[in-house]
Amino acid sequence: MTTPRLLAIMGSGETAPTMKAPHRAIFDRLGADVDAVLLDTPFGFQENAPILAAKATEYFRDAVGREVAVAGLGRTDTGDVVALERGVAKVREADWVFAGPGSPTFALEQWRGTAVPDALAEKLRSGGAVVFSSAAALTHGVATVPVYELYKVGLDPYWVQGLDVLSEVGLNVAVIPHYDNQEGGNHDTRFCYLGERRLALLEPELPDGAFVLGIDEHTGLLIDLDADTAEIVGKGAVTLRRDGESVRLESGQTIPVDTLRAAGSGPGLPPGRSVSGEQDATRTITHDGGSGEQNATGGAAKALDSLAAATDVHEAAFETALGARDADRAVAAILQLESAIVEWSRDTLQSDDIDRARAALRSMIVRLGAAATEGVRDVREVLGPVVEAALAARVVARSEKAFAVSDAIRDELVKAGIEVRDTPDGVEWLVAG
């Protein structure tokens, strides 16, 4: 069987529950026996690089159901020629190669002068899947955003030469993942933390005919090189931006790759009403061959597309259960939130979501404990039959003018925490305190 030629670019969420379906779909296309390799270079500079690699392989094993080996190319500048050749051989022989978060400029520095870029390009020519996300996705284009240097160090905006892997598809682009990022809160962190100001400065510096290919977070662009089609999957959209104008391709669409190529080869973007960069990505275009409906590879899974959303849902379920004094449903909500925390713990883009979810979980447990101490069931429901019987006896005692007995019954109820009130309409009682 001929190995399919597949290229997947993900904006983020590469090890999150939201992208399980796209990952599984790619593996299913390749078949049952797939030689899969994690290219660990983008995060190779980090002290916890082995932990990140282990978490990624655990995700693919547990969430996707596939075993993935680590290339061992965290650094290629160590002088260890044997390790380098061994790692490159793993990449060459693999049917599926994945790379994700880290630093795009570090990855490029490590890959240049090695056979890694050629090995990736050969897969797209001869057969195999190349799946790059986040920092690794940035390297795919003709130009790369040096994210750390611009956003963290504060250098003036500039491009770095990319791997230009997408030229194998006929695309002259700069890939920008995290396109719809909102982490900044009070400042613009869209467009992979560039914001509109810096992207507007960078855009005119792109090579002639090049344009921006923006991939939203928890979103993927799956390109089938054999069919020459591209599918948008996941939570968000893919944006084509040129000279400050944008068009947006929504999740669920399958389009000809020529639609993407046209953004760089013609006088402008594909047909449709353009919007400015300030509004960026507010227009949807649909082409022949794409229904715009969500599909089986991941476009439909939007309900709980973040741990924060999952936390909100399970907290609300817990509140409802506690209000209804339904202990089983309250426990179920706690267990579901705990499962969500575990599932999302492998995601590389969490900000403070995990901390918030854990705080919510602890609060739910404490409140359930308090409810258990006080009684999850309504106290009046439990005590009602006994109190009503005592009050009935008191009525009989009063009718027989046995006031000492009547008072004794009331006093004993008070001692038990039951307040008795004689009203014109009859006797009322409530649980004191």
Beta carbons of 143 and 162 less than 8 angstroms apart: yes
Most confident range, picked from 202-211, 305-314, 351-360, 403-412: 202-211
CA separation for the pair 416, 432 (Å, rounded) = 9
Neighbours of 363 (CB within 10 A): 12
Tokens in use for 155? Answer: 């250098």
pLDDT of 380: 64
Report in angstroms the alpha-carbon separations of 422 from 117, 285, 368, 381, 415.
Answer: 88, 73, 35, 21, 17
pLDDT of 393: 81
Gyration radius from the chain CA atoms: 30
The pTM (predicted TM-score) of the whole model is 0.73
* Amino acid, single-letter form, for residue 165: V
Check pLDDT > 90 for residue 240.
Answer: yes
> What is the helix (H) or strand (E) element at residue 175, kind and residue range?
strand 173-176
CA separation for the pair 371, 347 (Å, rounded) = 34
Check pLDDT > 80 for residue 325.
Answer: no
Beta carbons of 220 and 180 less than 8 angstroms apart: no
Check pLDDT > 50 for residue 173.
Answer: yes
CA separation for the pair 118, 397 (Å, rounded) = 99
Check pLDDT > 90 for residue 351.
Answer: no
DSSP 310: H
Helices (H), 345-378: 353-374
* Amino acid, single-letter form, for residue 54: A
pLDDT category at 396 given cuts 50, 70, 90 is confident
Query: What CATH architecture applies to the domain 5-265?
Result: 3-Layer(aba) Sandwich (3.40)
Token look-up 């179920």 returns 332
Please indicate whether residue 311 or residue 73 has the higher confidence score (pLDDT).
Answer: 73
Average pLDDT (348-365) is 74
pLDDT in tens, 119-133: 999 999 999 999 999
CA separation for the pair 413, 417 (Å, rounded) = 6
Beta carbons of 133 and 100 less than 8 angstroms apart: yes
Average pLDDT (209-222) is 96
pLDDT in tens, 269-317: 664 334 444 555 444 443 333 333 333 333 333 445 677 888 888 888 8
Tokens in use for 189? Answer: 């962190």
**Pairing state of beta strands 96-99 and 237-242?**
unpaired
The helix/strand/coil state of 99 is strand
* Amino acid, single-letter form, for residue 129: A
pLDDT category at 369 given cuts 50, 70, 90 is confident
Tokens in use for 355? Answer: 């901390």
